Amino acid sequence: MDTPTFSLEVARRVNAAIERGGHTVLGVAQATGIARSTLLRRLSGSSPLSVKELALIAQAIDVDVRTFIPRDEDDEWERAS
């Protein structure tokens, strides 16, 4: 999976987790300290989420940060170690 595709898939998974948990982008922005406009830009896929942002979001919505990582990429990283 190339980097732009990976970033879009991560953003899609974050969006899905926010919705599944009954959260709003505004609520997540407030809980994480990430500006709403920045979070919207990241979630649209126009710029990638940082590791720090992913960790803050995961904590705010009470999910494991690994939820956001596509499984086939996890497998590749495990094989490389």
Write down the domain spans for the chain: 3-80
pLDDT top residue among 67 and 1: 67
User: What are 61's two structure tokens?
Assistant: 């919505």
3-80 folds as 434 Repressor (Amino-terminal Domain) (1.10.260)
pLDDT in tens, 10-40: 999 999 999 999 999 999 999 999 999 999 9
> First vs last Cα of the chain: how many Å apart?
18
Lowest pLDDT segment from 10-14, 16-20, 53-57, 76-80: 76-80
Instruction: Look up tokens 């690994």; give the residue.
Output: 66
pLDDT score of 66: 95
pLDDT score of 21: 96
